[in-house]
Chains A and B, each alone.
Chain A
């Protein structure tokens, strides 16, 4: 299937099935609403095959370019059918399973994620391990029955909804740094796992703390080999900075247009409107080029940190403009539409914090792209 054909026929299908796909809830909805909506859209698009294009046949896909996946995410976001952040978890976690899980495990599990039957989460950050991922301490100990996991994760998106978790654990000595990390694919209903959602500023309990207390994980749930967890993480991060960002660019474009639709005359500074538009279009141009490199089979690497810096810049620029143009909605509005603008404005503040902070991205750019040497 070529992209042009995919685009035309998907657009037609989405138009025809608009009623079945549209959310039942007004405005942004609660996180529960959004998760239910996501599951519905994934099931409908999977059953109509759209969600299967761009994924390899070994995990129930129909093959074809990764551009097909990227366009599906763009089309669903542009029509306001899914919230782009929770939609894009698939784009981050499924490629990791395909590359590192045992083939039978990937073949069983990935279709459940694609069809929206399951939610997966990503257990990377810890209370003592934010930017310095290699220092993580959540411990996995070898027992006769499998790995016994004890420790804590934090900022785990959607953990309270998740059936599975891609978890980074310490299997080497505490000093083994990035060499002593092992990735596990964990069932979230395993005895010994406790999830506690975190109240965040933007009002949706998207992140959780996850506690592990002698949670037993079978050996066949290792992703890669023992000690290969760092590679799993490093290969996953460029996915976090490619297709997920393309979908986010589509979302920012849509919200900027909606701001122009509703902002009162005189509420927006033309120079700021011009600059924010340029940034959003440039982010989209950069992300598009990255999508085409992925399509051409290139291995994505540290250059995707530029994409992440641009996302954060564009997202905060758009919502700073929202805060200017819709100041009343953001500050004192209590209707669903105002609540949505406010929640998104507040969430945009996190764009320079999550997924590798603005400082970490610049450190990567300085060390890996500008070759300025190690700063440690």
Chain B
């Protein structure tokens, strides 16, 4: 897509995300051909939708589609399938642990399932779309290989997640060593699929961060203290400037990750987006001050959203620590994107 096509597509997506969320947004996305766009122009489809979704604080099943597209063609019954997301980092990296103790944290994100013979154990999360789908795909580690298993959603134990951001509608998924009656399908693209999901969540973090910055900027211009808008004070201006720098920094890295298609660049971009969003939350809440601490102002929704999104597919903290460990072992910086 380029030029007029791209502009029209973005306008349609903006229209959809500003008006709908959840199942209604899924229907709107289906109608405007987002899934076809995901197949033909994933960069445009993912970067535009997820940034808008983050900006509008809405949910959809788009992340399921990104991950499903990433793992390739898995035969599922019908079109109506969700995918189980990896659990949050089960053992957050502590500075005191040694590399050997954390071997499982490696470059590969641990898949949500583990398959022992025909018995499947699942610890993961689902998007708000998962309870609405008849089948769920579980990516699982099985005797040195990665496989996908299709299970009926109704069979999984689901806990609706309230937590920090109830509006995100996550569910916690578990399944304890239960025999499966479908054939596991081998997957060779789990790592790139995770990278694609990291980019999607990265764009969503950017969208939410831009919304927080807009809200703080408007407040700074309207709020009068000492006879002038607080936007006149350099302490306020520099917080907002730093927020924009953090957002643009992460955005530039996301673009680079789309260009070089490296899973390492995607992980760095996700980490920068997560760290940038946390900085945006801190600065914007400080600028919005009292009103930004209430539920009367919408800021809290974006703060909740970014704090949870940062944890999905590796938090800024754990991705950064993992990168550092790899670099200190290999002593070789990642390949650079040429000019």
A contact residues vs B (CB 8 Å cutoff): 3, 7, 67, 70-71, 74, 246, 253, 256-257, 260-261, 265, 268-275, 277-279, 281-286, 288-289, 291, 306, 309-310, 359, 361-363, 365-367, 369-373, 375
Contacts and interface: CB of A to CB of B under 8 A. Distances in A.
B91 to A, nearest CB: 16
A67 B231 CA distance: 38
Contacts of A277: 268, 323-324, 327, 333-334
B193 to A, nearest CB: 22
B336 interface: yes
Contacts of B271: 274, 278
Contact of A373 (B229, B268, B337, B338): B229
25 contacts: A70-B339, A74-B339, A256-B333, A260-B332, A265-B328, A270-B327, A271-B320, A273-B323, A273-B327, A274-B321, A274-B322, A277-B334, A278-B271, A278-B323, A281-B256, A281-B336, A282-B256, A282-B272, A286-B249, A289-B255, A359-B238, A369-B241, A369-B244, A370-B241, A373-B229
B266 to A, nearest CB: 12
B289 interface: no
Contacts of B234: 359, 363, 375
Nearest to A78: B336
A156 B22 CA distance: 60
Contact of B237 (A74, A274, A362): A362
5 smallest CB-CB distances across A and B, nearest first, come from A270-B324, A274-B324, A366-B237, A285-B256, A274-B320
A306 B232 CA distance: 20
A253 B339 contact: no
B339 A270 contact: no
Contact of B232 (A282, A283, A362, A375): A375
Interface string B58-100: 0000000000000000000000000000000000000100000
A362 B241 contact: yes
Contacts of A367: 237
B16 interface: no
B252 interface: yes
A282 B320 contact: no
Interface in B238-293: 238, 240-242, 244-245, 248-250, 252-253, 255-256, 265, 268, 271-272
A253 B332 CA distance: 11
Chain A contact residues: helix, strand, loop or mixed: helix
B262 to A, nearest CB: 10
B333 to A, nearest CB: 5
B231 A373 contact: yes
What DSSP secondary structure best describes chain B's contact surface? helix
Contacts of B321: 270-271, 274
A257 B331 CA distance: 8
B120 to A, nearest CB: 34
Contacts of A370: 213, 217, 237, 240-241, 244
A192 B338 CA distance: 48
B221 A373 contact: yes
B274 to A, nearest CB: 11
Contacts of B331: 260-261
Contacts of B213: 370
Contacts of B250: 282
Interface residues of B, number: 45
Nearest to B233: A375
A285 B337 contact: yes
Contacts of A285: 252-253, 255-256, 337
B30 interface: no
B325 interface: yes
Contacts of A256: 333
B323 A363 contact: no
A375 B221 CA distance: 12
A278 B333 CA distance: 11
B217 A67 contact: no
Interface in B295-339: 317, 319-325, 327-328, 331-334, 336-339
B151 interface: no
A353 to B, nearest CB: 16
Nearest to B271: A278
A359 B238 CA distance: 8
Given A285-B253, A362-B238, A257 B324 contact: no
A274 B323 contact: yes
Contact of A372 (B221, B245, B322): B221
A253 B232 CA distance: 38
A268 B328 contact: yes
B200 interface: no
A372 B337 contact: no
A271 B240 contact: no
A268 B238 CA distance: 31
Most A CB within 10 A of own CB, among B217, B331, B339? B339
B339 A3 contact: yes
Contacts of A272: 324
A268 B329 CA distance: 12
A365 B245 contact: yes
B220 interface: yes
A277 B221 CA distance: 36
Contacts of B237: 362-363, 366-367, 370, 372, 375
